Amino acid sequence: MSMATTYWGVLCRTCAEPIAFDACPFSKSGLGSANKRPGAIRCSLGHNHIYFPRDYQFFASVALITDATVRDNQAAYEATNPSSKLTYDLDPALWSGVRVA
């Protein structure tokens, strides 16, 4: 019986290639770095799609996805989607355009 590793990421909508952003145990809080906002993700075959938080999932892979590949996926996501680095303070008074009751 082969051992599969569990990853967090998306599957390409065109070719179903797994695009991993983290592996168990997770190195970042929030289950990976790319699941917080909609963003464009390109698989290694060049298929480019917009993915939403609901598109992220756990998937098992018998083939090892290296840490370098996961870091490359994270870097490519952040380069393509610069707003992914934005975080919001928990103080609602600091949110621009948000009305606080």
DSSP character string of 19-83: EEEEESSPSSTTTSSS-SS-EEEE-TT--EEEE-GGG-EEEEESSPPPHHHHHHHHHHHHHH-GG
Whether 35 shows a pLDDT value over 60: the answer reads yes
Higher pLDDT, 99 or 13: 13
Whether 1 shows a pLDDT value over 70: the answer reads no
Tens digits of per-residue pLDDT, 60-69? 999 999 999 9
The alpha carbons of the chain give a radius of gyration, in whole angstroms, of: 15
Which of 7-16, 34-43, 66-75, 80-89 shows the lowest per-residue confidence on average (mean pLDDT)? 80-89
Q: What is the pLDDT of residue 34?
A: 66
- Residue 52: which residues within 8 A CB-CB, separation 6 or more? 38
The identity of residue 3, as a single letter, is: M
